[in-house]
Amino acid sequence: MPMLDFIRSDLTQLQAYTPHPGGEPTGPLDILDTNESPVDLPPELKAKLAWLYQETIATNRYPDGSHHRLKGAIATYVNESATTNTIAPDWISVGNGSDELIRSVLIATCLGGQGSVYVAEPTFSMYGIIAETLGIPVVRGQRLADFSVDLEQAQSQVVAPVRVVFMVHPNSPTANALTAAEIHWLRSLPPEILVVIDEAYFEFSQTTLAAELPQHPNWVILRTFSKAFRLAALRVGYAIAHPSLTHILEKVRLPYNLPAFTQAGAELALQHRGLLLNAIATLQEQRQKMITALSTLPSFVVFPSEANFVYLRLREGGDPELAAIAAALKTEGTLIRHTGGGLRITVGTAVENQRAIARLTAYLHRQD
Ligand SMILES: *Cc1c(COP(=O)(O)O)cnc(C)c1O
């Protein structure tokens, strides 16, 4: 390809994010590599959404750029989920997926050589990827054997020029929630550090730090409709923070970042949250079954999970073998994710999970 002389030289080094490195899934595959809900919206909700589209959305008009109704509904849900009543609609900012909010946070804090970000690996890769596309340096810390952050190292790493700390609660891909010691450390960080707590998997862990936000103007919680709410296709996430911070996030985003259909879908999902979140208990049972079954495989260590996925590592052996396992399962029809030195398997339907376990077990037997 020809060199484009007008492009920033640092971008030529970067790889585009590819959720499915071998290409988009086609055919009858079990998609257990992206942590989505294994089930679609119930047909009656889809019909309702289609009706809303037909009857209430004028496609020739711009959507509500203030997300007024949606923010109100999100604030109600957040208060309910954190048993608090302090979260008013102006504590919410809505994004085209939480990915957009991650980018807004970075634009608002570190762009233009003003700071770096800290991540403890392995963790969600988008923080580092988006930071690098904006020319923002990434400081990478380690985790201990239980996947909690090496806090001693973090103390020394989270100093100027670091301005933003990204933590996932519970973490992806390792599935562990923040420990008391980690939370204590986050509380102790000085006001010049922004703490981002990504609660993408909140509905599966049922543990949130939202009630603490009023005491911490330097904290922001991110959540998404892409996982428990089954709306990955519509792209909607939200930030919860003190209004002085959401006000800034609103400034740096694009004016019509959320299509009208997406707003309608998210509002509908919240109206029917009882129905949608009913599926969580089944998923947690399936998660336990999967952990129990995978734990019988002698070559793997299977970690506890607070999320809708299970993480495992080989007792001996490394990345080439894990890559071979993921590739073999893919040819048999199950997509799983090889990441962070382990395998991450989304909890799917009972049938998908059984197939994943059977295929993995059969693969290991063939290697013996
Ligand atoms: C899936 C996920 C998200 C969701 O991103 P969207 O852009 O809202 O789909 C955010 N953070 C983490 C850690 C995730 O795993």
* Higher per-residue confidence, 155 vs 319: 155
**What are 334's strand-pairing partners?**
30
- For the chain, count helices (H), then strands (E): 13, 13
At residue 57, the pLDDT reads: 98
Question: What are the pLDDT digits (tens) for 224-273?
Answer: 999 999 999 999 999 999 999 999 999 999 999 999 999 999 999 999 99
pLDDT tens profile 19-49:
776 677 677 899 999 999 999 999 999 999 9
**Sign of the torsion formed by the C-alpha atoms of 200, 256, 246 and 131:** positive
Atom of ligand 1 nearest to the CA of 224: 8
DSSP single-letter state for residue 252: H
Mean of pLDDT values over 319-346: 96
Pairing relationship of beta strands 334-335 and 30-31 according to DSSP bridges: parallel
pLDDT band at 12 (very low <50, low <70, confident <90, very high): confident
pLDDT in tens, 47-86: 999 999 999 999 999 999 999 999 999 999 999 999 889 9
Q: Give yes or no for a contact between 231 and 335, defined as CB atoms under 8 angstroms apart.
A: no
The rounded percent of the chain whose pLDDT value lies above 90 is 90
Residue 15 has pLDDT above 90, yes or no: no
- Give the model's confidence band at 206: pLDDT under 50 very low, under 70 low, under 90 confident, else very high: very high
Q: Which tokens go with 250?
A: 């609103």
Cα separation values, 86 from 19, 68, 75, 250, Å: 37, 18, 9, 20
Pocket test for ligand 1, best of 32, 35, 74, 126 (most atoms within 8 A of CB): 126
Distance 365 CA to ligand 1 centre (A): 35
Question: Residue 17: its pLDDT value, please?
Answer: 77
Residue 224 Cβ < 6 Å to ligand 1: yes
Question: Which atom of ligand 1 approaches the CA of 100 most closely?
Answer: 7
Q: Is the pLDDT of residue 13 over 90?
A: no
Q: How far is the CA of 60 from the centre of ligand 1 (A)?
A: 30
Q: Average pLDDT in the 92-114 region? A: 98
Question: What is the per-residue pLDDT for 34?
Answer: 97
Domain 58-275 has CATH 3.40.640.10: yes
Using CA positions, which residue lies closest to atom 12 of ligand 1? 200
Residue 317: per-residue pLDDT: 82
CATH architecture of 9-36+278-367: Alpha-Beta Complex (3.90)
The whole-number average pLDDT for the span 147-169 is 98
pLDDT at 21: 66
Instruction: Scan for tokens 């201990």, then name that residue.
Output: 144
Examine the pLDDT at 358 and tell me if it is beyond 70: yes
Closest CA to 314 of 337, 354, 343, 340: 343
Same fold, 9-36+278-367 and 58-275: no
Reply yes or no on whether the pLDDT at 319 is more than 70. yes
DSSP single-letter state for residue 88? -
How confident is residue 223, by pLDDT bands cut at 50, 70 and 90? very high
186-193: Cβ within 8 A, 24+ apart:
186/219, 187/212, 187/216, 189/158, 189/165, 189/218, 190/218, 191/217, 191/218, 192/160, 192/163, 192/218, 193/158, 193/162, 193/163, 193/164, 193/165, 193/218
> Does 275 score more than 80 pLDDT?
yes
Distances (CA, A) of 91 to 63, 196, 239, 316, 356: 21, 15, 8, 47, 41
**Predicted pLDDT of residue 14:** 85
The one-character DSSP state at 16 is P
pLDDT, mean over the chain:
96
Mean pLDDT of 98-104: 98
Between CA 274 and CA 279 the distance in angstroms is 9
Residue 367: band (very low, low, confident or very high) from pLDDT cuts 50, 70, 90: confident
How many angstroms from the chain centroid is the CA of residue 360?
25
98 CA to centre of ligand 1 in angstroms: 6
Q: Where are the domains of the chain?
A: 9-36+278-367, 58-275
Nearest residue to 14 (alpha-carbon basis) of 131, 139, 132, 134: 132
DSSP state of 143: B
